[in-house]
Amino acid sequence: MALIMAGDPTKEAKTDPVTIDIENNEFELFITAIKVFSNYDLSGYAKVSLKRRVKQLVTDYGLTSISELIPLLAHQPEAARKIVNELTVNVSEMFRDPSSFLVLKESVISYLASFPRRDIWVAGCACGEEAYSLAILLEECNLLENTQIHATDINTNALEQAKSGVLTHNLTKKDAQRYRLSGGNYSLSKYFSSAYSKQKISQHLLDNINFTHHNLIQDGIFCSAHLVLCRNVMIYFDAELQNKVLQLLYDSTIHNGYLAIGTKESLDESGIVDRLTVIDEQSRIFQRKRI
C-alpha cells in the first residue's frame, strides 16, 4: 500500500516563531506547486508527517529550504515525478495482519465462490505483496481462475516493482508463519521461483493481477468490485479526506460486496457506517448492505 511517511507526531523541534512561519508558508506553497505542476493534491494528508518527509527531501537534495524544491517541480518533470514517488513510502509484506487474511478466507472468499466471476480491488497496493497474498489464497480455494485482481497505487516506481513479480525482500520464516496463520495449506515457497538471489511469484498467479496507476484522492470509481481492500492508507489522511476516500471505496463495492480497511482505521465518523454490516470488528471487514 502507498503511504506518506509517518513520523513522530508529537511536536515540531524548537525553532523561533518567525522561522516556523516562513517554513509553514513555504510548505503550503510546495503543496500548491505539487498540484499545479504534477497534478497531485496532497492538501488532505496529515500535515505533521507530510511536512517532516518534505523536510527530509530538502536534506536529501542538498538544499536549504522547502521553497528550493519548487523550481524542480516547475522545470524538471523527471525530478517532479521522483519527488512524488519519494513522498509516498510503500510499506507492505506478505500476509500482513494474518488474522485479517484468515477472516477473508473463511468468511468472505467462501461467499465469493457463489459468483461465476469476481473482481477484487486492492487500493494502495504498494509493491504488490498484498495482491500476491490474496492471489495465493484464491488459488488454494480454486477461485483464482475466474477472478481478476485490480491492484492500484499512486507510486509509479512501486507499480513497476509490483508488475515484475519480484519481491523487494526475499521470503523469511516470519513470512511463512504469517502465511500459515492466514490459513495457508502448503508451503509459501511453493508459489515462488528463485534466480540471481531474488524471488519471483509464479507467473500464473501474476497473470491474474492487473497493476494500474490510480489516485485515490483525485480519480473516480476504479471498478465495480466484489471485494475492496484499502488497508493502512487512510491513517495518513485528515478526517475530510478519509470520508471522501471511504465514499469512493463504498461506491466501488457491489451490493452485498465487501470492504476491508486497516485495523487502525475507522468508519465511525464516516457517512457510510450505517450502510455496512460488520463481518469482523477486529479485522475491520464489512459487507455492503442491499438498500
Q: What is the pLDDT of residue 14?
A: 55
pLDDT category at 89 given cuts 50, 70, 90 is: low
Q: Give the Cα separation of 138 and 146 in Å (integer).
A: 10
Mean pLDDT calculated for residue range 161-170: 95
How distant, in Å, are the alpha carbons of 82, 85, 95 from that of 153?
15, 11, 18
Q: Give me the pLDDT at residue 79, please.
A: 87
Does this model's pTM top 0.85? My answer is no
Report residue 145 CA to chain centroid gap: 24
Task: Of 46-50, 127-131, 151-155, 169-173, give the lowest mean pLDDT range.
Answer: 46-50
Assess contact for 28 and 42: CB atoms under 8 A. no
Residue 124: closest CA among 96, 146, 151, 149: 151
DSSP lists the bridge partners of residue 122 as: 151, 229
Domain ranges in the chain are: 2-90, 98-288
Q: What pLDDT is recorded for position 282? A: 94
Average pLDDT over residues 150-156: 94
Percent of the chain predicted with pLDDT > 90:
64
Average pLDDT over residues 135-163: 95
Mean pLDDT of 275-282: 95
Q: Select from 3.40.50.150, 2.40.40.20, 3.30.420.80, 2.102.10.10 the CATH code of 98-288.
A: 3.40.50.150
Give per-residue pLDDT as tens, 180-223. 999 999 999 999 999 889 999 999 999 999 999 999 988 889 89
